[in-house]
Structure 1
Amino acid sequence: MKLGFLTACLPESTLSDIARWAVDQGFEALEVAGWPATDVRNHIRVERFDEIEYERVRRIFADTGLALSSIAYYENNLHPTEGPQVNAHVRRCVEAAAALGCPTVGTFVGRDAGMTVHDNLKKAEDVFGPLVEHAKGHGVEIVIENCVMKSWHPDGYPGNLAYSPELWEWMFGIGLKLNYDPSHLVALGIDPVAAARPYVSEIAHVQAKDTEILGGRIDHTGFHGPIGGEKGWYRFRVPGRGQVDWTRVIDALQEGGYDGVVSVEHEDPVWSGDPARVRTGLGIAYHTLRPLIAG
């Protein structure tokens, strides 16, 4: 295994600066944010991935020795109006990944909130069939994070149809792989280790984020949280500051044969607000995970 992080948490920094800092801290990989240029999370500009951009990114990874584990673009591929633009950008991410020798592109399945789950799954098969074939033709795998994305549904129901092992099985059937993030399983009352064990062979990337349960709040709002779909009774933290048992998680992945990248996804509100605090949070995650995956 290699230890890395997702660059989206440092949008004000250049990829070159992030990479140099990552090496100094002992990280071995980066998952690079690849949103469009209109979004601050665009450390790789896939919409104009010409020879100059290719050489810029290639040089950063060649000079630092870091691995490029994935190009990240987590948006709603089933959105009723914006879906086609999202799909097209996923294709561009795949092409950039192939050119750079990057094995995966990460995104969400998403959901059309005006349709039933059953109809969404049928729509997703039509949408992702060509995307999977495009990725396969370029030697790249599309990985889906198991995030719930309550904010994408007007009533706070799951907005990304990849949140449970039941849906993972459906995803694998259409050629998608899993970007496994245990934090979201904690927030659903699912044991992350029990959920992962049968599917390690289908995990092509791992994101490391923790979940802190905020005591007593669920007794007021219930499992689904406050009206409007806010998280309410839990919050995401850097690894080591929540409920995830990282020793058991990493052990299950290693026992199952996973030898890829564990990429810290920093969404911790305590260690946010300015780049220095974000880097401190990444350091906490590093010192939590490094002893578990070293060597």
Structure 2
Amino acid sequence: MAEYGWPRLRGLAPAGRRFTDADEQHTRELLDRTGLTISSLAYYENNLHPDPATRESIRTHLKHAIDTAARLGVDSVGTFVGRDPRLSVLENLREGEKVLPELVEYAGERGVKIVIENCVMEGWHPDGYPGNLAYSPELWEWMFGLGFYLNWDPSHLTWIGIDPLETIEPYLDRIVHTQAKDVELFPGKRNRYGFFGIVDKGGDPWATGWWRYRVPGLGEVDWRHVIDRFHDLGYTGTVSVEHEDPVWGGTPEKVKQGLRIAHRTLSPLVEP
């Protein structure tokens, strides 16, 4: 398949290439041959980017992803709300209310839901504050009012002090996709760096100082109770492993082993 992914935003290159008839045919043949299905397409960028040209480039490519999802019969596309770090949270919400509904309408006209991941994206903010304004149930309710849905990820909730189990039932009708990712916490390091994490990141905006993401089963998330709660409430959406584990990453062999660990953790809970 020809390359179809994140466009180069720096320098404002054209916002990605369109998904062609040949791409569609090749994709369908690949899925048929492997027995795989696509649960969701994804373009996780900052839809409130402070630079107008970059923001427009992002919007254009997100629409390309929505068009592609519609062609392939995929019912959702994932992205972030984002944030303009020059503005307060409330100012960003007012800006979002002006510019985001058009994306929801565009997707809805094509039978596609836009799902927002509740990732904090602290690396997008120069001071380590949330760079994606969808990190808490309070903000979920705001974005649901704009027509968005939720790509629920318990790992982010855990490190910011929210009990993931308590967020399932109230918002079940808006959770259409779930990311199975765990998080390992280091309270002793938090006592040194504080809640917002390490200040001197050594050039790595994602250096946290006191938490790291793990595959399911190697962190703090209570997967037995999470999956049981989903079963109890009749959740019918996708549970998709997101592999960002630094221990089981770096080589194809380690990545495969990380996925095996995730499978061993989750399969007894989800398979009949």
Pair in the same fold by TM > 0.5 = yes
Q: Does the alignment pair 1:155 with 2:132?
A: no
CA RMSD between the two structures:
1.9
Q: 1:46 to 1:79 in 2, by over 3 A?
A: closer
Give, in whole Å, the separation in 2 of the partners of 1:289 and 1:130: 37
Unaligned runs of 5+ in 1: 1-13, 16-32, 40-44
Q: 1:216 maps to what in 2?
A: 188
Could you say which residue in structure 1 is the equivalent of 2:111? 139
Q: Check the 8 A contact 2:7/2:61 in 1, yes or no.
A: no
Is 1:120 the counterpart of 2:92 in the alignment?
Answer: yes
Shift in alpha-carbon separation, 1:76–1:194, aligned structure 2, 3 A: same
Structure 1 position 47 matched with structure 2 position 24? no
Q: Is the 8 A contact 1:186 1:211 kept in 2?
A: yes
**Among 34, 37, 61, which residue is 2:31 paired with?**
61
Structure number with higher relative contact order (C-alpha < 8 Å, ≥ 6 residues apart): 1
Instruction: Identify which of 165, 187, 196 aligns with 1:193.
Output: 165
Say which SS state the counterpart of residue 139 (structure 1) adopts.
coil
Residue in 1 aligned with 2:270? Answer: 293
1:276 and 1:227 map into 2 onto residues whose CA distance is: 33
The whole-number CA distance in structure 1 between the counterparts of 2:4 and 2:266 is: 25
Q: Cα deviation per residue 1:247-290 (whole Å; 9 max; x = unaligned)? A: 11112222222112111110000011111111111111111111
Cα separation, 2, equivalents of 1:275 and 1:125: 42
- Structure 2 unaligned spans of 5+: 10-14
CA contact (8 A) 1:271 1:281 kept: yes
Q: Secondary structure at the match of 1:162?
A: coil
Change (3 A) 1:153 1:37: closer
Taking the TM superposition and a 5 Å limit, the aligned residue runs for 1:25-40 are: 35-36=5-6, 38=8
For the 8 Å contact 1:108–1:160, the answer to whether it is kept is yes
Contact 1:266–1:282 (Cα < 8 Å) also in 2 = yes
**Which residue of 60, 73, 92 maps to 2:43?**
73
> Deviation at 1:109?
0.4
- On the 8 A contact 1:201/1:257 being kept in 2, the answer is no
Q: State the identity %.
A: 52
Does the 8 Å CA contact 1:225/1:233 hold for their aligned counterparts?
A: yes
1:122-143 per-residue CA deviation (whole Å, 9 max, x = no partner) reads 1112222111001001000000
Paired residues of 1:34 and 1:93 also in contact (CA < 8 A): no
Residue 83 of structure 2 is aligned to residue 106 of structure 1? no
Q: Partner of 2:178 in structure 1?
A: 206
Partner residue in 2 for 1:90: 62
CA distance in 2, matches of 1:35, 1:76: 15
Question: Secondary structure at 1:263's aligned position in 2?
Answer: strand
**TM-score w.r.t. length of structure 1:** 0.84
Task: Measure how far apart 1:38 and its partner are.
Answer: 4.8
- Whether the 8 Å CA contact 1:46–1:93 is kept in 2: the answer is no
Matched residue SS, 1:278: helix
Distance 1:110-1:37 versus aligned 2 partners, 3 A rule: closer
TM-score (norm 2): 0.91
